[in-house]
Amino acid sequence: MVNRKPPGIYVLPSLSRESRNVAYRAWILILTFLVYTCYHMSKKPVSVVKNVLYRNCSVPIKDGYELEIAPDNTSTTFCDWAPFDQPNHKELLGSLDLAFLFSYAFGMFFSGHIAERLNLRYFLSGGMMLVGIFTAAFGMGYFFNIHSIYFYVGIQVVSGLVQSSGWPSVVACVGNWYGKGKRGLIMGIWNSHTSVGNILGSLIAGAFVTTSWGWSFAVPGLITFGIGVMVFLFLVPDPEDVGCDMPDQHGTHVVAEHGTNKTLNIDPVEPSSEDGDDLYHEQSYSSIDASTQALIKHKQEKPITIWGAFFIPGVAEFSLCLFCAKLVSYTFLFWLPNYIEHTAHYDAEKSADVSTLFDVGGIVGGIAAGLISDNFGGRATTCAVMLILAAPVMYIYNLYGSLSLAHSIGLSFACGTLVNGPYALITTAVSADLGTHKVLEGNTKALATVTAVIDGTGSIGAAIGPLLAGLIPVWNDVFIMLIISDILALLCLVRLVYKELRLDRLLGCTGD
Summarize the confidence of residues 390-408 as an average pLDDT: 92
The runs of H, that is alpha helices, within 377-430 are: 379-400, 405-425
Summarize the confidence of residues 109-124 as an average pLDDT: 86
Question: For 322-356, what is each residue's pLDDT tens digit?
Answer: 999 999 998 998 888 888 888 888 887 788 888 88
Find, among 505, 507, 498, 488, the residue nearest to 380 by Cα: 498
Q: Is residue 77 very low, low, confident or very high in pLDDT (cuts 50, 70, 90)?
A: very low
Question: For 436-464, what is each residue's pLDDT tens digit?
Answer: 666 555 555 677 778 888 888 998 998 89
- Lowest-pLDDT range, 22-31, 383-392, 411-420, 433-442? 433-442
Question: For 263-321, what is each residue's pLDDT tens digit?
Answer: 333 343 344 434 433 333 334 444 444 434 444 444 545 667 777 777 788 889 999 99
- Higher-pLDDT residue of 414, 308: 414
Q: Is residue 158 very low, low, confident or very high in pLDDT (cuts 50, 70, 90)?
A: very high
pLDDT score for 282: 37
Instruction: List Cβ neighbours of 138 (8 Å cut-off, separation of 6 or more).
Output: 45, 46, 152, 155, 156, 159, 217
Question: For 176-217, what is each residue's pLDDT tens digit?
Answer: 887 665 667 788 888 889 889 988 998 999 899 888 999 999
pLDDT score for 381: 93
pLDDT score for 32: 95
Find, among 411, 396, 405, 390, the residue nearest to 329 by Cα: 390
pLDDT score for 488: 97
- Lowest-pLDDT range, 181-190, 401-410, 491-500? 181-190
Please check the confidence at residue 67 and state whether its pLDDT lies above 50.
no
Question: For 119-133, what is each residue's pLDDT tens digit?
Answer: 899 999 999 999 999
- Lowest-pLDDT range, 274-278, 375-379, 497-501? 274-278
Q: Is residue 487 very low, low, confident or very high in pLDDT (cuts 50, 70, 90)?
A: very high
Q: What is the distance between the alpha carbons of residues 476 and 275, in angstroms, rounded to a whole number? A: 68
Please check the confidence at residue 61 and state whether its pLDDT lies above 90.
no
Please check the confidence at residue 116 and state whether its pLDDT lies above 60.
yes
CA atoms within 13 A on the CB side of 300: 6
Q: Are strands 256-257 and 245-246 parallel, antiparallel or unpaired?
A: antiparallel
- Higher-pLDDT residue of 472, 305: 472
Instruction: List Cβ neighbours of 355 (8 Å cut-off, separation of 6 or more).
Output: 47, 202, 336, 337, 340, 412
Three-state DSSP state, 493: coil
- Higher-pLDDT residue of 278, 22: 22
Q: Contact 486/420 with Cβ under 8 angstroms?
A: no
The rounded percent of the chain whose pLDDT value lies above 70 is 76
Please check the confidence at residue 220 and state whether its pLDDT lies above 60.
yes
Summarize the confidence of residues 225-250 as an average pLDDT: 86
pLDDT score for 483: 96
pLDDT score for 200: 94
Q: What integer best gives the mean pLDDT of the chain?
A: 80
Please check the confidence at residue 1 and state whether its pLDDT lies above 70.
no
Instruction: List Cβ neighbours of 379 (8 Å cut-off, separation of 6 or more).
Output: 184, 373, 425, 426, 429, 430, 433, 500
Burial class (CB in 10 A: 0-12, 13-18, 19+), 345: middle
Please check the confidence at residue 113 and state whether its pLDDT lies above 80.
no
Q: What is the distance between the alpha carbons of residues 466 and 94, in angstroms, rounded to a whole number? A: 7
pLDDT score for 54: 77
pLDDT score for 436: 62
- Higher-pLDDT residue of 262, 45: 45
pLDDT score for 85: 82
